[in-house]
Every structure is written in C-alpha cells, then in structure tokens.
Amino acid sequence: MFKTLFLPLFAMLATALYAQGQPPGQRFTAEEYISEWKEVAVKKMKEHGIPASITLAQGLLESGNGNSELAREGNNHFGIKCTPDWTGGRTYHDDDKKDDCFRKYKDAAQSYDDHAKFLQKPRYASLFELKPTDYEGWAKGLKKAGYATDPNYPTKLIALIDRYELHKLDKGIDVTYKPKPATTGTANKPSTGKTSGRKPGKRGGESDVITWSAGRNVETFEGRIKYVTTKEGDDFRKLAADLEMTHGMIARWNDMDKDAKLEAGQRIYIQPKRNTAKSASTHTAVAGESLWDVSQHYGVKLAKLAKYNGLGEDAKLTAGQNIALRKPRR
C-alpha cells in the first residue's frame, strides 16, 4: 500500500453520464479509460510537466480502469485520502485501516487536479528535472520518492505504458483504439495491432471466462457479478496484484478482512455483491452453514441478508432455517 495519501487500485468519465452510460455489472476497458482521459492527462502535462503517460498509467492502475468502488462512488481515481484541511465530500473504504476516509469529488476531473497538485510537493521535485518523455525515470522516481511501498509499482506503470503505447502522448502523438468487435469477447485492441492484457475466453454455461495476463480466469456469476476462483497460496494481496486492483476493496466486496486466509477453490467476487439474489428468493440452511456462506453462495451483500432476516452478520444458522434472499414484502 502507499505510504502517502494514495492507494493502488481494475473507465469512467468526468461527468455522471459516463458512469450512468455503462450497463450494470459491465466493466470499463483500459482502452475506454484511456480514450476518455488522455486529453486531461495531456493538459496536466502541459500545465505541470507530469508525463501524460504516467498520469494515465497511475489512473489505470489505481482505479482499476475506473471500475473500483472508490472511482465509481467517489469519482476518486487516484485513491486520494482525506487530510485535516480537506473540506469537500468524503467516502469511507477499508484500506490500511477499516473505514479509511477518502476524498469524494463532484466529478473525476477534480481527482486529476488533486493528483497533479500532490506531485508538486518538494519530495517529488527531482522528478521535474527529468525529461517529460522519460516515463521509465518517472516511474522509478515515484517509487524512490516514497509514493508507493509496492516494490513492483514502477514495473506495473511501465508495463501499462508500453502495453497501450501511452508514451506517444508524451511526444504529442495521439493514441486511438479500434472499436470492440460485436461478435467476440476480446478487449479493444490498439490500432497498432498490439494486444491488451486480456485474452478472449470461452463461454461456459452462464459464465464468460476472460483470462488475464497474470493467468487469472475471471468468470461471471449468474451473468452479473465477476469473480475469480482462488488457487493454493492465494491471499487478497496476491489477487489484487494479479488483477491490478486493491486488496482492501476485494476483501470488502466479499465481507472479509483484508488479511483473511483464503483456501483454494473459493469464489471471490471482484465486483460488489448485489442487494438481492437473482435465482432464488429463499434458502434453506444446512448444518454448519453461516449467513456469510449464504451471502457468498448467492452473491448477496452480507449486510442486506442480515437486515432481511433480523440476524447479526456473524450469525450461525441451524439446519432447516429459512433465509430470505430478498427484502421481505410488508
């Protein structure tokens, strides 16, 4: 995690139209994110001397292409935390501690402004002695200056810049991407022919399987919530690193502690669970089952199940107990 005000996070517009224009459950691609925010990044480069490639790569990484809960709910694309002098909106998410305070913006462009202002701090002064085209120097310099504690942070930024040819923006050359083909599950490809980090998967039952460059199969539960199946040795930090997300966010979406141990074969959602179940209205508990088990099985938020059934979130269930999976009708 970052020592500074930022946290590394899986694309979103400056206006509410961008968030509202995406169908529920559908994730923004890296190409969509870049297409939307490249002009803002170039503008910040001209105003402050921060390479556009670096700004975009950080936005991609820390907001998960604008798909993170923090980006969607708070228009915060760089994980900027609250400070004592902050008087704007606030939103709370688990990070270094439970319910960490993060800044909430009226639109995401404000988070780009804050990001540029943050890098004006004296600790980053040496970076501005580099050429704006030296994105590798900037990536390594950010880590050296204490921006991130993740030892692989520079490598991740450089990989994103190379993958999507963002360095062209630093030289005044535009980058564009071909529209996504309607008949495939393949992510948009740069017009240069290079492929993105996702590869097309196969369709099986109700799940679209997408293989990420880290070898993770991302599937869709009941056609509406993306998830991964854990492997031996997995924890939330490893999942977050492989998926370019934030481990605290993934844990929160699964109603778990971010340091919780994971067992091989577990379903871990990488999007928020829903308020109600899709396939059933009730569930009959079996011996040894917990309310959390039911929550994970049906992809329903634990807090909602507890409320619907008048139970505590840590409730242990008895065999035959009937559990409502939707809000009871009055």
User: Where do the domains of the chain lie?
Assistant: 16-170, 198-269, 282-324
Amino acid residing at 237: R
Q: Is the dihedral of CA 221, 265, 209, 253 positive or negative?
A: positive
Give the rounded percent of residues in the chain with a pLDDT score beyond 70. 79
Mean pLDDT throughout 238-253?
Answer: 83
- Specify whether the CB–CB gap between 81 and 5 falls below 8 A: yes
For the chain, how long is the longest CA-to-CA vector?
68
Rounded-to-5 percentages of helix, strand, coil across the chain: 35, 15, 50
The pLDDT value recorded for residue 194 is: 28
Q: In whole angstroms, what is the distance from residue 2 CA to residue 230 CA?
A: 25
**Helix (H) or strand (E) segment spanning residue 227:** strand 225-229
Identify the residue whose tokens are 């946290």: 7
- Specify whether the CB–CB gap between 78 and 109 falls below 8 A: no
The more confident residue out of 65 and 178 is: 65
- Specify whether the CB–CB gap between 163 and 194 falls below 8 A: yes
Show the CA angle centred on residue 37, arms to residues 71 and 190, nearest 5°.
110
CB atoms closer than 10 angstroms to residue 152:
12
Tell the CATH topology of 282-324.
Answer: Membrane-bound Lytic Murein Transglycosylase D; Chain A (3.10.350)
The pLDDT value recorded for residue 201 is: 28
pTM comes to 0.51
- Torsion angle of the four alpha carbons 205, 210, 211, 212, in this order, in degrees rounded to the nearest 10: -150
Tokens at residue 274, please? 């829903």
The pLDDT value recorded for residue 311 is: 93
Does the pLDDT value for residue 16 go beyond 90? no
Q: In whole angstroms, what is the distance from residue 133 CA to residue 158 CA?
A: 12
The rounded mean pLDDT for the chain is: 78
Tell the CATH topology of 16-170.
Answer: Lysozyme (1.10.530)
